[in-house]
Structures are given as structure tokens and as C-alpha cells.
Amino acid sequence: MITKTNVKSKNKIKVKFVLEANSSYKTVELLGLNNDWQNGLALKKRKDGAFYTEVELNPNESHSFKYRINGDTWLEEPVGATCGNCDCHVDDGFGGKNSVIHT
């Protein structure tokens, strides 16, 4: 799930990413924001088993991203504005999809 909050004092959008608990997930990274597909941002594990992180992004931009699970499995966020998920998917150029959020 993704939530976006306007931080007017910084002219930024705070985006919180939460990936539901799954017993097979040992590590989860977020990649692609600001076109950084090399340096993953590690998500922290909550007591309920879900993984989360928060980032601040510039407003009025689009950001592609994916989750990397356990260092080798790629996962996109489901689409669905009513569910608080990503805004859409785009082809990733490798036969898969990237998730996209609009700030």
C-alpha cells in the first residue's frame, strides 16, 4: 500500500510504502525512484511482518519503482487508486512491468 502526504513546509511529498507480510520475505528493497536501479532502499520489518519505508519526493513528478525481494525476485505494486496502490504500470524493457506513482 502507498500513501502520499503533502509536506508544505518542505515543498515535498512524503510517500509511505508498505508491503504486506509474507513469510517468504526475508529482505525487501525499493528500487527505481529517481532512476536509481542500482542502490536499493531497504524496507524495515514491522512487528506484524509487513515491510515499510518513507521517502520524500518532489511534487508533480512521476516515479517508476519495483520491490526486490530476498535480493533476486522483482515485484511490482498492484494498481488501484481506491486501494492506495500505485497509479499505473509501464513496461520495464525486460518483459515485465514497473510500478509508477505520480506526486
Q: Give per-residue pLDDT as tens, 29-86.
A: 999 998 889 899 999 999 999 999 999 999 999 999 999 999 999 998 876 644 557 8
Dist CA 83 CA 65 (whole Å): 18
* Domain of residue 88, CATH code: 2.60.40.10
pLDDT of 80: 60
Looking up cell 527505481 gives 32
User: Residue 47 belongs to what domain range?
Assistant: 2-102
pLDDT of 82: 47
Amino acid at site 12: K
Indicate whether 16 pLDDT > 90. Answer: yes
Our count of domains for the chain comes to: 1
Please report which confidence band the pLDDT of residue 91 belongs to, taking 50, 70 and 90 as the band edges: very high
pLDDT of 101: 92
pTM beyond 0.85: the answer is yes
Element housing 39 (H / E): none
